[in-house]
Structure 1
Amino acid sequence: MVRFKNRWILVELLPTTEGKQTPPINGKQIWNALKQSLITNFGDTGWGAVGLSLTVKYYSPTTNMAIIRVGREHHRTAWAALTLLSSIEGFTFVPNVIHVSGTIKHAQMAAVEHNRIVVARYRALAQTPAGYRDSYDAYLDKSTAEIESLQD
């Protein structure tokens, strides 16, 4: 028996809207935008190779982070299409690929670590002491629980 091998791409979608509220998007909209990017940049052949295995497994609107699953053989094509992605539902985003791994567990660990780094940056900007409990602690606990609950 041969098992299907995947790659998991952890990506942060940074909105480019200055002073405006972040647009509400979801995993389905990310999937559709990625599909259009694949078709536009790699044609029907690129979409045919990647399309069967492409799924958006997780998306957090708070951090704008997504975990995307794609087949191992074509993960570079999906990564390229993701990098060439410029807009989702008419709103412009800059995709920042943070981590690519062979297991969802490693993608989860990278997402949790990235969340901690981002929260540390926010705390540094706010100049709060390290022992101070704020809303970021509750967010870190909630997002860590969400990310760790993902199943392959």
Structure 2
Amino acid sequence: MVRFKNRWLLVEFLPISAGLNTHALEEITSKHIWAALKHSVITHFGNNGWGAVGSSLTIKYFSPRTNLCIIRVARDPHKIAWASVTLMATIDGRKVIPHVVHVSGTIKQAQLAAIRHNREVVARYRARAKTPVGYQDSYEQFLQTSVQEIEALPD
């Protein structure tokens, strides 16, 4: 028996907005991301590209709080999906810059990469604020909540 082999893309969508509105993607759902990704695949790779990717493409996780998304796609056409994510400019009319953080063969590795990425982002914010190492702030709660959300994903 041959199992279905996947690739898991961990993508961060960086919103482009006027001002410091960091919650620009709060109303975005995984359905919006899937539709935008479908549009990108068809635009850049045509119906053949969508035929290769479409049957296996799934948005497994999206957090509007962290703007992280985990996308599942079949192993063979995963480069088409990767390129299409990179070429996306908008999601539901909101301008974004997609950043593929990690590509893995299992969802567990994508989850671990997402947790690691969140910790790195928080460390950068703390370094900018010049906070001491043992300082307790709202980022601790943020990290705990995001870890719980990511680890709750079914395998």
TM bracket, shorter-chain basis: over 0.9
Amino acid at match of 2:85: L
For 1:57 and 1:25, the matched residues in 2 are separated by 14
Q: Distance in 1 between matches of 2:145 and 2:11?
A: 19
1:125 matched to which residue of 2?
128
**Structure 2: runs of 5 or more not aligned:** none
Could you tell me how far apart the structure 2 residues matched to 1:5 and 1:87 are?
29
Mapped partners of 1:102, 1:18: distance in 2: 37
Query: How big is the shift at 1:125?
Result: 1.4
Aligned equivalents of 1:98 and 1:59: distance in 2?
14
Q: Give matches, 1:136-147, under 5 Å.
A: 136-147=139-150
- CA offset at residue 18 of structure 1? 2.6
**Aligned residue for 1:5?**
5
> In structure 2, what is the Cα distance between the partners aligned to 1:58 and 1:19?
27
Q: Which residue of 2 aligns with 1:78?
A: 81
TM-score, structure 2 normalization: 0.95
- For 1:88, the equivalent position in structure 2 comes to 91
Task: Give the aligned length.
Answer: 152
- Which amino acid in 2 is paired with 1:48? G
Question: Partners in 1 of 2:6 and 2:95 — Cα distance?
Answer: 28
Q: What does the per-residue CA deviation read over 1:62-96, in whole Å, with 9 as the maximum and x for residues that have no partner?
A: 11110000000100000000011000111110000
Identity of counterpart residues, as a percentage? 61
Instruction: After superposition, give the CA deviation of every residue in 1:33-81 in whole Å (9 maximum; x if it has no partner).
Output: 0000001111111111100100110111111110000000100000000
CA RMSD of aligned residues (A): 1.0
Gaps of 5+ in 1: none
The TM-score normalised by the length of structure 1 is 0.97
CA distance in 1, matches of 2:154, 2:78: 20
2:52 aligned with 1:49, yes or no? yes
* SS of equivalent to 1:2: coil
What pairs with 1:11-26 in structure 2 (closer than 5 Å)? 11-19=11-19, 21=21, 22-23=24-25, 24-26=27-29
TM-superposed deviation, 1:20 = 5.5
The runs of at least 4 aligned residues of structure 1 exceeding 6 Å deviation read none
* SS of aligned partner of 1:97: strand
* Cross-structure match for 1:104: 107
- Residues 12 and 39 from structure 1, CA distance in 2 versus in 1: closer, same or farther, beyond 3 angstroms? same
